[in-house]
Amino acid sequence: MTSDDDQLEVCAMLSERRLEVLRAIVQDYVGTEEPVGSKALTERHRLGVSPATVRNDMAVLEDEGYIAQPHTSAGRIPTDKGYRLFVDRLAGVKPLSTPERRAIQNFLDGAVDLDDVVGRTVRLLAQLTRQVAVVQYPSLTRSTVRHVELLSLAPARLMLVLITDTGRVEQRLVDCQTPFGETSLADLRARLNSRVVGRRFTDVPQLVQDLPESFEPEDRGTVSTVLSTLLETLVEEAEERLMIGGTANLTRFGHDFPLTIRPVLEALEEQVVLLKLLGEANESGMAVRIGHENAYEGLNSTSVVSVGYGSGGETVAKLGVVGPTRMDYPGTMGAVRAVARYVGQILAES
Amino acid sequence: MTSDDDQLEVCAMLSERRLEVLRAIVQDYVGTEEPVGSKALTERHRLGVSPATVRNDMAVLEDEGYIAQPHTSAGRIPTDKGYRLFVDRLAGVKPLSTPERRAIQNFLDGAVDLDDVVGRTVRLLAQLTRQVAVVQYPSLTRSTVRHVELLSLAPARLMLVLITDTGRVEQRLVDCQTPFGETSLADLRARLNSRVVGRRFTDVPQLVQDLPESFEPEDRGTVSTVLSTLLETLVEEAEERLMIGGTANLTRFGHDFPLTIRPVLEALEEQVVLLKLLGEANESGMAVRIGHENAYEGLNSTSVVSVGYGSGGETVAKLGVVGPTRMDYPGTMGAVRAVARYVGQILAES
DNA sequence: CTCTGGCACTCGAACGCCCGGAGTGCCAAC
DNA sequence: GTTGGCACTCCGGGCGTTCGAGTGCCAGAG
C-alpha cells in the first residue's frame, strides 16, 4: 500500500500540528478507552485551534490510515499504523521514578536462586505495567559451562548434572551397557571438566568429540553414551523455558471479553509462540510489535514489548509484556527496560 | 442449619425418585448450562411420572436447599449442597475409556525429566477435563536423598547440589570464610553421602548434626556453613512449586465473565492459595470441594477436584483441576484419578 | 396418600420504538 | 488556512409490549 513512502508522507501530508493531534488522540484514547472526538480534544489539550480545524486534521489522518472511526459519527481511535507512528516518532521512553527504581532493586535483591530471580522478575514486571509479563530463562546456548558432574547411582546407571554460569542446573539419567568403575568415572569427570568448563555451550561438541578415543576400549561405549546424552541435553534444553505472570490483568482488556481473551490465553500456553514473540526483539534494543505486526493470529489485537537482558554486554535471554494495543507505550517501555537492566545486574553478581 | 441431620433428611424427605430428579437436574444443567424445568426433565429422562409430580418433588428439593431458582418462574439449578449430595451419593467415578488410558500412558511415557513429567501431566489433565489443571511438584519433605554433591567453584566458594529420588535437583551457592581443600571436600562429600543417601529429608537434620566435630578445627566453620545451607534448602524448598495449565478453558466458564474469571486468575497466581486448595485433598482418596466449601473467597463459584499421587504407596504430591461448580463431576474425577495413577507409575520407574 | 391434569399467574428475554446527544462532514465566511 | 454554523448520522438507553417457559395450587382420580 502506502507503507513504502511513509517517510515522504510524514513530511508532506502531516504537519507538526497534525502529529500533535495524533499524539493527543493516542494519549486520550489510552486514558479513557473511548473513541475521542474533536471537541473533547481541544478541551483537554491546548492545541490553540478550534474543533473544526482539528476535524479537518483528523480527516487527513484518517485518509492516511493513522486513525479510524468504529462507526460513522463516533470519535476516532488510533489504528495499528497510528500507534506505530506514535511509538516511532512521537513518544519517548518514560523513565521510572526514583522510588520505583529503588523498589525494583530491593525486590530483586532478595532472590535466592535462579528460579526465584525469574519468578520475582515476572511478578515485578506484571505489577509495574499492569499487564501480562513473560520472562525467558537465561538461555543455554549463549551461556557457558560452570561444571559438569557425574554420579554413579547404580553399577550401570549414571547421573549427569550440568551447571551453567547463570545458575541453571540440568540433569539426566544415563543407562550404560557395561558397568563403569569409579576410577574411570573420576577420570572422565576430570577430563570432561578440564575441556568444557568456562566454554560456551555451542562450542562443547567440538571440544569433546575425540574424548572416547583416549579411554580403554571397554569404557569407550559408556563414554560415548555419556557424551551423547550431554549433547542431547544441550539441544533439548535449547528449547527455552519461560515463566509468565499477571494473567489476571487480562481482565482489564476490554468489554468484548471472551473473544479477545481466549486466543491470548491460548497463546500464553504455547511456549513456542511466546518464544517467537520474544525472539523478535531486536538484538540491540527494545522491540515493540503492535497488533497485526504480530505473526501469531490470536494476538492481533495485542502489542508486545520485549527486550533482551543479560550480564555483561551479552544478551542471554529476553523478557517482555503482552497487553492491549491500547497501552501506555512510554510507561511500559520504561518499565520493561528498567527491569531488564536490573535483572542483568543481579545475574552478573551471582 | 439443617446440615447436621442430612442423613436423616435424606432418608425421611427424599424418596428414591426425588434423588433421581436431583440427579437428572444436575446432569441436564451440566449439559445445557441453563436452568432446567419440569417439562424438559420428563422429556429427557424416563422418570415415569408427569411434570406436575416432578414439580412437587422440585418444591421439596428446593425447601431442603438442594436446588434453587435464579428468579421466580425460571427453571431450577443445583445449589452447592445439591452438587455435594450428587457427588456423595448419586454419582460414581466414571472410568476412562481404554483408548483414553492408552493415550495417557503414551503421552506421559515420552517425558525426559521431572519438569517434563509435570509439564506433560498438566497439559494432559487440562485437555482431558477441559478445565484448569494444577500439578504440584513432588514434595521434598516426603522424598529421600539420592545424592548430595559438593563442587568447588572458587577457593572459598562451593556449590551444593541435592538430588532426590523423584528426580528433583536443587542447588545452592555456599560462600565459606576460609578456603577449603579438595581433600577435605572429598571427605565431607563422602561422609555426608554415607549418612543421608536413601534417608528421608525430614530425618536429615539429626543425621548430620554431629558431623562438624569429626573435622579438623580449621574446617569446622565451613562444614557448619555447608550443613546449614543444606538444611535451609530443605526448609525453603518445602514451600512447594507447582505448575498450572489450561487457563484458556476459563473462557468456557460462563457469560458473567469478568466477575467470575478475575478472582480465579488471581488465585491461580497465588501459589500459597493453590497449595492450600490441593492440600485439602484427603490423605486416602480424592477430594472434591464445591463452591463455598473452598476457603478462598475468589473461588466461591468454582469446584476443585484434587488427589494425591506418588510412587509406591506413598503420596509425594497432589494434583487436581479447578472448574466451575457446574462441571461433569464423574468424568472429571475419573480423569484426575487416572492421571494421578499413571504419573505415580512414571515416577516409580525413573 | 400419591399422582395427575388443568389453570391462572409471574417474570425474564426479545423486540420495536423513540429520543437525546455526541460527533461528523461540508460549506460559506473571515 | 482557519473558523463558526448547520444538517445529518448513528449509537445507546429508556420504555412498553408481547411471548413463552415455568411455576404453584387445586380438585379429582387411582
> What is the nearest CA distance from B27 to chain A, expressed in angstroms?
25
Q: By C-alpha distance, which of B61, B41, B59 is closest to B51?
A: B41
Contacts of A234-240 with C-beta under 8 Å, sequence gap 24+, read A234/A140, A234/A141, A234/A201, A234/A204, A234/A205, A236/B112, A237/A140, A237/A170, A238/A139, A238/A140, A238/A141, A239/A271, A239/A275, A240/A136, A240/A137, A240/A139, A240/A140, A240/A271, A240/A275, A240/A317
pLDDT at B31 over 70: yes
- Distance CA(A155)–CA(B247), nearest Å, equals 44
pLDDT above 90 covers a percentage of chain A that reads 43
Distance B190 CA to C24 C1' (A): 83
User: pLDDT band at A257, cuts 50/70/90?
Assistant: low
3-state secondary structure of B234: helix
Most B CBs within 10 A among A117, A118, A123, A169, hence the mutation to make, goes to A169
Q: Which residues of B touch A159 (CB under 8 A)?
A: 146-147, 163
- Distance CA(B280)–CA(B294), nearest Å, equals 9
Average pLDDT over residues B161-190: 83
Q: Is the sign of the CA dihedral A78, A82, A83, A86 positive or negative?
A: negative
Distance A10 CA to C13 C1' (A): 52
Average pLDDT over residues B4-15: 52
Nearest residue on chain B to A157, alpha-carbon basis: B350
Please provide residue B301's backbone torsions phi and psi, each rounded to the nearest 5 degrees: -110, 25
- Among B159, B247, B257, the residue with its CB nearest the CB of A247 is B247
pLDDT for position A122: 96
Please provide residue A96's backbone torsions phi and psi, each rounded to the nearest 5 degrees: -75, 160
Q: pTM for the whole thing?
A: 0.83
Q: Do A153 and B147 touch (CB under 8 A)?
A: yes
- Distance CA(A211)–CA(A183), nearest Å, equals 16
Q: By C-alpha distance, which of B157, B159, B160 is closest to B180?
A: B157
Q: By C-alpha distance, which of B8, B17, B30 is closest to B61?
A: B17
**Run of H or E residues at B68:** strand B67-68
pLDDT for position B3: 43
C-alpha cell at A251: 481482565
Q: Do A169 and B171 touch (CB under 8 A)?
A: yes
3-state secondary structure of B243: strand
CB A285 within 8 A of CB A307: yes
- Distance CA(B121)–CA(B99), nearest Å, equals 17
- Among A159, A161, A269, the residue with its CB nearest the CB of B248 is A269
Provide CB contacts within 8 A for B34, sequence distance 6+: B75
The position carrying cell 486468575 is B265
pLDDT for position A347: 83
**Run of H or E residues at A303:** strand A302-309
Q: Do A247 and B241 touch (CB under 8 A)?
A: no
- Among A112, A149, A251, the residue with its CB nearest the CB of B258 is A251
Average pLDDT over residues A158-163: 85
A69-84 pLDDT tens trace: 988 888 999 999 999 9
CB A109 within 8 A of CB A348: no
Nearest residue on chain B to A113, alpha-carbon basis: B172
Strand D contacts (Cβ < 7 A) comprise A 17, 48-50, 52-53, 56, 71-74; B 35-40, 51-52, 55, 58-59, 62, 69, 73-76
- At position B55, the amino acid (one-letter code) is R
- Distance CA(A232)–CA(A126), nearest Å, equals 34
